[in-house]
Structure 1
Amino acid sequence: MHNKTKILLCSVGISLMLGGCSGMNSTNNNQDTEKTKETQAAPSEETKISVQDYTGEGYALPYGRVTDEIAEKNLAQIEEAAISFFKENYKTDVTVHNVVGAKDGATVFVESKGEPHFYTYAVVPIDELEKKVMTEKIWADEFQVKNAIKGGLYNMIFKEEFNQLDNYFDSLAAEGKITGRTKESIQNVGGHGFSTPYYFISMRSKEAAIQPVYDLFMKNPDESTENLRKAFEENSFSAKYLFINIQLFMADKNANPDKKLFDKIIKDLEEMTSIPRGSYSFVLNDNFIDKQSSSGMGDNSLDLLKDIIKE
């Protein structure tokens, strides 16, 4: 596996590992590092589970045992704070799916209701000595949340193109060749913006075409999809700033990543003309995922050397 830098499913995990209050003063430091190299080790035999069975159970963050116990006793308070936070700051109603203890706090995984659809997270600081959750100090990485909303808006205004991409992966899955993550795992340990079982969207802060769409949405969350689409600045779009990160798994629990299948999918993607514009990365894993890190990358994973560019 080569050392290409990209966003993989641990990208948010890296931010979360800095988690809790320790991240409060470094929120803006990650704004142009979203194409982050996955640094986690390959899943160990003890923590591997079939991706079809993985719901997020067993996911853990460093130094989170004590805070996880405190958060568990205050779930209703944390949930209420998270729902209010996203409504007040991002004009979005969310559902809280999971709360995971981290260093000095608890990470709250949420999903937006309706469109734009996305997953993200917030952090509630916790005083371990006082065993107190400080919901009044709840915070989120502003770049990550905006990135998530923008990805949801991109999907929303180019629905037909994304349907073509989704139909392709659904057809492969129907043939029994590949599978993706379960919806439950995306909800419980997601936090990756617009996500499907097969891919997620991310973008650099330099991506300018979607910014007017975001601004219009924040001004009026009930704005029509048609008007949001009109706000998209076609001439400002650059595929090198918007990433569609594909991660597939072998459906067969005993199969290694299939090189012929890997090459076929690359060829199909290259030839498709009606899928969304952007830079496509692609990883084909075996059937297993690490319960603790939610990473599917292993030593045998097949990783696309150069992104497929759709301008």
Structure 2
Amino acid sequence: MNIRPRIMLTIIGISLILVGCSGINSTKNYQESKKAKETQAAPSEELLINVQDYTGEGYELPYGKVTDKIAAENLDLIEEAAIKFFKEKYRTYVTVHNVVGAKDGATMFVESKGEPHFYTYAVVPIDELEKKVMTGKVWADEFQVENAIKGGLCGMIFKEEFNQLNDYFDSLAAEGQITGRTYEAIQNVGGKGFSTPYYFISIGNEAAIQPVYDLFMKNPDESAENLRKAFEDNSFSAENLFINIQLFMADKNANPDKKLFDQIIKDLEDMTSIPRGSYSFVLNDNFIDKQSSSGMGDNSLDLLKDIIKE
């Protein structure tokens, strides 16, 4: 259900986040996060929607019908609990955009206020028999949340470089060649750290950003300048900072264009002012699966070897 406006969303399956409150491995596979490759069967046509029209409606998580209804009746309490959780545990103020019923609980999609800017999620357990929301037991996958904050910190301290990358994709979109996900979709079913309509960041075992994260957790009001000074350039490995690009054809009837795909790869290879990191790239047609929010299809063009920008 959307918090603003409070509209129910039917929900089932997310490839990068948990499906409930039990049986979750807190350490996620980086390659899955890095590539965001969904392995679901090809969606039927009635589940497909043009990416420009997709806001997250139709998205589902397994076994969430009952808990979704219970959560809908307790939205104010859930929102309050989520805000309190992130403030106390991660010293971050968040906005709750969406609450999605899942097995034994509900997933809360949140966005940080201000910088560092990131999207992530937490879970509130729900007792289906008692129809009770256990707001005092909110939890989150620490790996995912810390990764999201670190990505946001990268976006914050390397803002100029990321602005160059954003300007490039904005220029392609202005020319009518490509498009990205809507901000509503990112907010409502995102949970992927530092995200834009065109890409999101995930971080591997990157030692260079850890002092920045530690300083932020010690003082969330620390200036971007001091956070940048804490970044250990000598320890940085471009292969541990993943910039995962997923673009869509702007033409609603077009298949992924191989010529455009190759040109974007060349441009990324040639640019010297964009962030250092490991770039993956997928070019999809114009459709997205409403249930899974996946844009990957049989015709998607996928860069087989990452572009490494040292």
* Smaller-chain TM-score bracket: over 0.9
Q: Deviations over 1:247-290 (max 9, x none)?
A: 00000000000000000000000000010000000000000000
Which amino acid in 2 is paired with 1:244? Answer: I
- Structure 2 CA distance, aligned partners of 1:293 and 1:302? 19
Residue 191 of structure 1: CA displacement? Answer: 0.2
- Structure 2 CA distance, aligned partners of 1:69 and 1:235? 51
Unaligned stretches of 5+ residues in structure 2:
1-12
| Counterpart among 25, 28, 31 of residue 30 in structure 1 | 28
Any conservation in 1 of the 2:38–2:294 contact (CA below 8 Å)?
no
Residue 35 of structure 1: CA displacement? Answer: 3.7
- Could you say which residue in structure 1 is the equivalent of 2:153? 153
Any conservation in 2 of the 1:17–1:103 contact (CA below 8 Å)?
no
Alpha carbons of structure 1 residues 19 and 178: separation in structure 2 relative to 1, 3 Å: same
* Matching of residue 163 in structure 1 with residue 163 in structure 2: yes
Secondary structure in structure 2 of the residue aligned to 1:257: coil
- Could you say which residue in structure 2 is the equivalent of 1:3? none
Secondary structure in structure 2 of the residue aligned to 1:46: helix
Any conservation in 1 of the 2:254–2:285 contact (CA below 8 Å)?
yes
Which amino acid in 2 is paired with 1:152? Answer: G
Secondary structure in structure 2 of the residue aligned to 1:16: coil
The residue correspondences of 1:159-238 to structure 2 (distance < 5 A) are 159-204=159-204, 206-238=205-237
- Could you say which residue in structure 2 is the equivalent of 1:310? 309
Which amino acid in 2 is paired with 1:167? Answer: D
- Structure 2 CA distance, aligned partners of 1:237 and 1:184? 33
Any conservation in 1 of the 2:34–2:244 contact (CA below 8 Å)?
no
Which amino acid in 2 is paired with 1:217? Answer: F
Residue 19 of structure 1: CA displacement? Answer: 2.1
Residue 32 of structure 1: CA displacement? Answer: 4.8
The residue correspondences of 1:129-148 to structure 2 (distance < 5 A) are 129-148=129-148
Which amino acid in 1 is paired with 2:28? Answer: N
- Could you say which residue in structure 2 is the equivalent of 1:88? 88
Residue 207 of structure 1: CA displacement? Answer: 0.6
- Could you say which residue in structure 1 is the equivalent of 2:278? 279
What is the aligned-residue RMSD (CA, Å)? 1.3
- Structure 2 CA distance, aligned partners of 1:52 and 1:58? 15
TM-score (norm 2): 0.93
- Could you say which residue in structure 1 is the equivalent of 2:6? none
Any conservation in 2 of the 1:22–1:104 contact (CA below 8 Å)?
no
- Could you say which residue in structure 2 is the equivalent of 1:47? 47
Any conservation in 1 of the 2:19–2:61 contact (CA below 8 Å)?
no
Residue 219 of structure 1: CA displacement? Answer: 0.3
- Structure 2 CA distance, aligned partners of 1:126 and 1:61? 14
Any conservation in 1 of the 2:281–2:302 contact (CA below 8 Å)?
yes
Residue 15 of structure 1: CA displacement? Answer: 4.9
- Structure 1 CA distance, aligned partners of 2:260 and 2:30? 33
Any conservation in 2 of the 1:239–1:279 contact (CA below 8 Å)?
yes
Unaligned stretches of 5+ residues in structure 1:
1-11
Residue 162 of structure 1: CA displacement? Answer: 0.5
Alpha carbons of structure 1 residues 133 and 111: separation in structure 2 relative to 1, 3 Å: same
- Structure 2 CA distance, aligned partners of 1:234 and 1:270? 21
- Could you say which residue in structure 1 is the equivalent of 2:20? 19
Secondary structure in structure 2 of the residue aligned to 1:130: coil
Which amino acid in 2 is paired with 1:243? Answer: F
Secondary structure in structure 1 of the residue aligned to 2:247: strand
- Structure 2 CA distance, aligned partners of 1:242 and 1:156? 14
- Could you say which residue in structure 2 is the equivalent of 1:291? 290
Secondary structure in structure 1 of the residue aligned to 2:124: strand
Residue identity over aligned pairs, in percent, reads: 81
- Could you say which residue in structure 1 is the equivalent of 2:79? 79
- Could you say which residue in structure 2 is the equivalent of 1:242? 241
Which amino acid in 1 is paired with 2:173? Answer: A
Which amino acid in 2 is paired with 1:14? Answer: S
Any conservation in 1 of the 2:121–2:191 contact (CA below 8 Å)?
yes
Alpha carbons of structure 1 residues 281 and 116: separation in structure 2 relative to 1, 3 Å: same
Q: Deviations over 1:80-119 (max 9, x none)?
A: 0000000000010000000000111100000000000000
Any conservation in 2 of the 1:17–1:62 contact (CA below 8 Å)?
no
TM-score (norm 1): 0.93
Secondary structure in structure 1 of the residue aligned to 2:15: helix
Q: Deviations over 1:210-260 (max 9, x none)?
A: 000000000000001000000000011001111000000000000000000
- Structure 2 CA distance, aligned partners of 1:115 and 1:121? 17
Any conservation in 1 of the 2:96–2:111 contact (CA below 8 Å)?
yes
- Could you say which residue in structure 2 is the equivalent of 1:107? 107
> Across the two proteins, how many residue pairs are aligned to each other?
296
